Amino acid sequence: MPGGPGGELDPRARSHFSAELDQLRLQVEVMAVRVAQALDRMGRVLATGDEELAARAVAADDEVDAMLVSLTERSYDLIRREAPVASDLRFLVSVLRVLEELERIADLSLRVVKHAGEVPRLMSNEPMFRTLASMAEMAQNLYRTALDAWSAQDLGAARALADQSRIMDGHYATLLDHILALDGPGAAPLAVSAVLVGRALERIADHTVIVGERLRYLLTGDPAYLAAEVR
Amino acid sequence: MAAVAPHPRTAELVRARLEQGKLDVAGTLFRWLLVGTLALSVGVLAVLLIDVVTGGWGVLSSRLVDFLTSADRTSAEEAGVFQGLRGTFWIGVFTVVLAFPVGIGAAIYLEEYAPRSRFTRIIDINIRNLAGVPSVVYGILGLAIFVKTLASLPDWLGGGPLTGGRTVMSGGIIIAILVLPIVIITSAEAIRAVPDSIREAGFGVGATRWEVVRSHVLPYALPGILTGTVLALARALGEAAPLILVGAVQGRLGGGPGSLVDLGQLQERFTAMPIMITNWSGEFAEGFQDELAPAAIVVLLVFVFLANGTAILLRNRYAKRR
Amino acid sequence: MPVESTTPARPDAPRLVRAPDPGEEPASGELFEVCDLSVYYGSFRAVRDVNLRIPERCITAFIGPSGCGKTTILRCFNRMNDLVETARVEGRILYHGVDLYDPAVNPVEVRRRIGMVFQKPNPFPKSIYDNVAYGPKVAGLKGDMDEMVERSLRRAALWEEVKDRLKASAMGLSGGQQQRLCIARALAVDPEVVLMDEPCSALDPIATGRIEDLMEEIKTSYTIIIVTHNMQQAARVSDQCAFFTTEVNETSDTRTGILVEFDGTEKMFSTPSDERTENYVTGRFG
């Protein structure tokens, strides 16, 4: 019951601050959607090797970086001005940490995109390429789950992310098997590309799980969830 | 940000607005009316003073000491106010000794110790009523108790010798009772005006109520209390009606001056300055109305001013300490 | 793995929600035990059913909106409510196991051990020296008075500023200095507890900061309970916080103060247990 007996929630109390927090939440979602689009582009580049699409992805990444800077600044500004406590403070802290993860995810997708030129070569080894494609799809699905969890502030979905990412681990193990099985003259450069792309995709999944952890911090206040990081 | 020079048109408008002064007719008239009332009050007092001083100047300038030390006589050239001075002096002493401690003590009790109840409120109202009772009533009270009743008590109960009937003691006591309500009321006001924060501070460090009253409340309230005593004393020294009823002699007393502070005199016939003044004002013999009475008035005024002045000096000293 | 729920587990800070059984020993380190405390002004109940345990030698803050009875409750700890004629206290406050409201207890002695600093600085209109010396004088403390005065003024971080003018009137000091003088005055009788009723609300930020530093310094020797409107101050200085609010009584249209939550300060300002607390500390409700 809002306010509880004996206290009325004053709708005008700190309304400016509340509005700013809502604005910030929206903007973080916008940035998250941009990152989703980047992952989508990454998936298509990996499937087709489209160099033009790759170039567009590079340009779009600059936008994401700029958004990160501005949202980070805005968060610090709110902390400085409004002396937030309790849920307000947890929100701002988790926003700052989630922004980091989103930026990392965007960077990793860019790394994959930069291998656009290798795609034809990667396609030559079908089973390995299929594994990579599954990993890319898995990464996108995981990210979408995290995005939905954040928008809905759904603790259960956040919790489930960790379980789902185990499937990704399975894919990565398979990929390594494929890579180790490679031989022949073009094996070394192919292996290198495959490892780099595979590693990037696996780390995207890891960072997505961490977004879930930050959301769990926001909802439960347990600082242990701030400690999770990709090693 | 560069300073913007005001647009000339704007500046004109603003200046016109600011410089317009409505002549405050009502205010000025009222102010002069107030000055007028002040002038009237002061003027009346000034006229009285001048009248009295000019009337008594002859006597005062020519034979002041003699005037002050002589007893009342039939002839205007020899009559003096000594007996009146003595009576008034003792009235003052009784007032200070009886009314002040009792009155201040009662005020302390009412303000600091007594719980707020209907009973204390009734007492408070009654004290205020007593302050307004005509002084003649106190005279009747004094007559009934001191002169008649006490005097008729057997000796072993301290009847006759105690107040001895129509004596200065009776007069002093009854005047003290008369001004008691004034002392209580003004002291109570002064004590009430002490900010509660000071009391709280005292209690906060573990002082008892008496320690708080003694160390903090009373010193703070002292200026107000002293002002009250000034008022009370002035009233006491000027009262005539009760004294008449309690037996101040109208007319001439025999006997020489004696000393001012002769305690034996307390239990004998007496008179006081207001009585003598009243007396002389009605006396048709040569010189009494026009010269002696004003002179006596001047002496009484000086006496009262001296008494009040002491109290005011004391008050200012304590007020500065605050 | 931490407990997964939206109401997180509570930390170690003691939180008493039931009255202790009679004769039950308080946990060590706890100086006050408040049991079912209610305060009435006449027939109006201003505060009801407060149960608290105040630990010793740390700073406990009472926070809450205006009119919730924080000052009323604070004044119960040193029997200052005795001075208000219509005030009546029910329940017990145990201090070292002794009920402060036992008829055999002398309130004057209580106030010598549990001192108080008030909202508006209220030095006596006397000299600085006399202000500090008054408490020990009436308490009959033996010893070198000059030394006692100096010690108290040093403890209140005021000595250096006034050591050359001890005989000057206390009224000539600035607001912040006057409040530190009041603190020195309270410390002069060597109390065990210092109660502070919004001590900084009449002071500028710099003076406020100095008094907060002072509180940090002396909390190793004294137990401090502070009532404050300033939430940042409560978050900064206190170790424990008690959050009070008012409860509206529909039938009589009156408000009664109640204790909502009592927790470690860190917990209360990061993940409070009660929604009302959350709304208050985030400023959504005042």
Residue B168's identity, in one-letter code, is V
pLDDT at site B312: 84
Q: Which two tokens stand for residue A180?
A: 């180790």
Greatest CA separation found in chain B? 102
B199, B203, B216: residue with CB nearest C111 = B203
Q: What residues of chain A lie within 8 A of the CB of C4, using their CB?
A: 155, 159, 216, 220
- Of residues B197 and A231, which shows the higher confidence score? B197
CB contact under 8 A, C279 and A84: no
A11 domain residue, yes or no: no
Instruction: Determine phi and psi for C31, rounding to 5 degrees.
Output: -95, -40
B14-29 burial code (b ≥16 CB/10 A, e <16): eeeeeeeeeeeeeeee
**Residue whose structure tokens are 């509206």:** C248
pLDDT at site C190: 93
Per-residue confidence band for A162, with pLDDT thresholds at 50, 70 and 90: confident
Residue C6's identity, in one-letter code, is T
Q: Supply the range of the domain harboring residue A106.
A: 17-230
pLDDT at site A183: 82
A13, A84, A90: residue with CB nearest C285 = A13
User: Is A148 within 8 Å of A157 (Cβ atoms)?
Assistant: yes
A138 domain residue, yes or no: yes
> Can you tell me the mean pLDDT for A78-102?
92
Please say if the pLDDT value at position B37 is more than 50: yes
Kindly report the three-state secondary structure assignment for every residue of B7-66.
Answer: CHHHHHHHHHHHHCCCCCHHHHHHHHHHHHHHHHHHHHHHHHHHHHHHHHHHHHHHHHHH
The CA-to-CA distance between both ends of chain C, in Å, stands at 37
Q: What region, left, alpha or beta, does residue C116 occupy, with left being phi > 0 and alpha being psi -120 to 50 degrees?
A: beta
**Residue whose structure tokens are 């995981």:** A142
A186 domain residue, yes or no: yes
Contacts 24+ apart (CB under 8 A), B147-152: B147/B246, B147/B247
Q: Which two tokens stand for residue B213?
A: 């009253």
Give the whole-angstrom CA distance, residue C184 versus residue C182: 5
Q: Which residues contact A220 (CB under 8 A, 6 or more apart)?
A: A155, C2, C4, C5, C6, C8, C271
User: Is C192 within 8 Å of C222 (Cβ atoms)?
Assistant: yes
Q: Which CA distances in Å does B30 have to B25, B39, B41, B42, C67?
A: 9, 14, 17, 18, 46
Please say if the pLDDT value at position B81 is more than 60: yes
> Can you tell me the mean pLDDT for B255-273?
62
Give the whole-angstrom CA distance, residue B64 versus residue B58: 10
Give the whole-angstrom CA distance, residue B215 versus residue C137: 11
Residue B214 contacts C where some CB pair is shorter than 8 Å? no
B115, B204, B321: residue with CB nearest C111 = B204
A11-43 burial code (b ≥16 CB/10 A, e <16): eeebeebbebbeebeebbeebbebbbebbebbb
Edge-to-edge, what's the strand order for the sheet holding C30-41?
C98-99, C87-95, C30-41, C44-55, C254-264, C240-249, C59-63, C223-227, C193-197, C114-117
A4 domain residue, yes or no: no
A2 domain residue, yes or no: no
C2, C247, C282: residue with CB nearest A85 = C282
User: Is B265 within 8 Å of B171 (Cβ atoms)?
Assistant: no
> Can you tell me the mean pLDDT for A174-198?
87
Instruction: Determine phi and psi for C224, rounding to 5 degrees.
Output: -120, 135
Which residues partner with C52 through β-bridges?
C34
The structural domains of chain C, ordered by start, are 30-281 (3.40.50.300)
CB contact under 8 A, C285 and A224: no
Residue C139 contacts B where some CB pair is shorter than 8 Å? yes
Instruction: Determine phi and psi for B233, rounding to 5 degrees.
Output: -65, -45
pLDDT at site B265: 56
Please say if the pLDDT value at position B260 is more than 70: no
Q: What residues of chain B lie within 8 A of the CB of C78, using their CB?
A: 204
Please say if the pLDDT value at position B264 is more than 70: no
> Can you tell me the mean pLDDT for A103-110?
93
CB contact under 8 A, C274 and A4: yes
User: Is B302 within 8 Å of B64 (Cβ atoms)?
Assistant: no
Percent of chain A with pLDDT over 70: 94
How does pLDDT run across A114-140, given as a tens digit for each residue? 888 888 888 888 888 899 999 999 999
The least confident of B78-82, B184-188, C14-18, C185-189 is C14-18
pLDDT at site B322: 60
User: Is A65 within 8 Å of A100 (Cβ atoms)?
Assistant: no
Q: What residues of chain A lie within 8 A of the CB of C246, using their CB?
A: 6-7
Count of structural domains within chain A:
1
Percent of chain B with pLDDT over 70: 85
A145 domain residue, yes or no: yes
CB contact under 8 A, C118 and B200: yes
Residue C248 contacts A where some CB pair is shorter than 8 Å? yes
The least confident of A110-119, B20-29, B53-62, C20-29 is C20-29
pLDDT at site B262: 57
A9, A18, A86: residue with CB nearest C281 = A86
pLDDT at site C20: 45
Per-residue confidence band for B79, with pLDDT thresholds at 50, 70 and 90: confident
Residue C97 contacts A where some CB pair is shorter than 8 Å? no
DSSP-derived pairing of the beta strands C59-63 and C87-95: unpaired
Q: Which residues 139-168 in chain A show a CB within 8 A of chain C?
A: 155, 159
B204, B208, B321: residue with CB nearest C186 = B204
B87-121 burial code (b ≥16 CB/10 A, e <16): bbbbbbebbbebbbeebbebbbebbbeeeeeeeee
Please say if the pLDDT value at position B56 is more than 50: yes
Q: Which residues 105-134 in chain C show a CB within 8 A of chain B?
A: 108-112, 115-118, 120, 122-125, 134
Q: Which two tokens stand for residue A212?
A: 């879930």
ipTM of the complex: 0.85
Q: At A77, which CATH number? A: 1.20.58.220
C2, C245, C258: residue with CB nearest A224 = C2
Q: Which residues 90-129 in chain B show a CB within 8 A of chain C?
A: 115-116
CB contact under 8 A, A7 and C232: no
Nearest C-alpha in C relative to B322: C125
User: Is A175 within 8 Å of A135 (Cβ atoms)?
Assistant: yes
pLDDT in tens, chain C (286 residues): 333 334 333 333 333 333 445 545 444 578 999 999 999 999 899 999 999 999 999 999 999 998 899 999 999 999 999 999 899 999 999 999 999 999 999 999 999 999 999 999 999 999 999 999 999 999 988 889 999 999 999 999 999 999 999 999 999 999 999 999 999 999 999 999 999 999 999 999 999 999 999 999 999 999 999 999 998 899 999 999 999 999 888 887 888 999 999 999 999 998 899 999 999 999 887 5
pLDDT at site C208: 93
What is the full DSSP assignment across C11-37?
Answer: -SS----SPPPTTPPPPTTEEEEEEEE
How does pLDDT run across A177-186, given as a tens digit for each residue? 988 888 888 8
* Angle in degrees, CA C103, C105, C110, rounded to 5: 140
pTM for this one?
Answer: 0.80
R_g (Cα) of chain C, nearest Å: 20
Which residues partner with C59 through β-bridges?
C224
Burial class (CB in 10 A: 0-12, 13-18, 19+), B193: exposed
Give the whole-angstrom CA distance, residue B88 versus residue A188: 130
Nearest C-alpha in C relative to A153: C6
CB contact under 8 A, C246 and A87: no
pLDDT at site A100: 92
pLDDT at site C7: 38
CB contact under 8 A, A86 and C271: yes
Q: What region, left, alpha or beta, does residue C180 occupy, with left being phi > 0 and alpha being psi -120 to 50 degrees?
A: alpha
> Can you tell me the mean pLDDT for B106-110?
95
pLDDT at site A2: 39
How many inter-chain contacts (B to C, CB under 8 Å) are there? 69
Give the whole-angstrom CA distance, residue B121 versus residue B115: 10
Q: What residues of chain C lie within 8 A of the CB of A90, using their CB?
A: 270-271
Give the whole-angstrom CA distance, residue A225 versus residue A218: 9
Give the whole-angstrom CA distance, residue B99 versus residue B97: 6
User: Is A44 within 8 Å of A50 (Cβ atoms)?
Assistant: yes
User: Is B218 within 8 Å of B194 (Cβ atoms)?
Assistant: no
Residue A11 contacts C where some CB pair is shorter than 8 Å? no
The structural domains of chain B, ordered by start, are 86-268 (1.10.3720.10)
> Can you tell me the mean pLDDT for B95-122?
92
**Residue whose structure tokens are 């911090």:** A217
How does pLDDT run across B305-321, given as a tens digit for each residue? 888 888 888 888 877 76
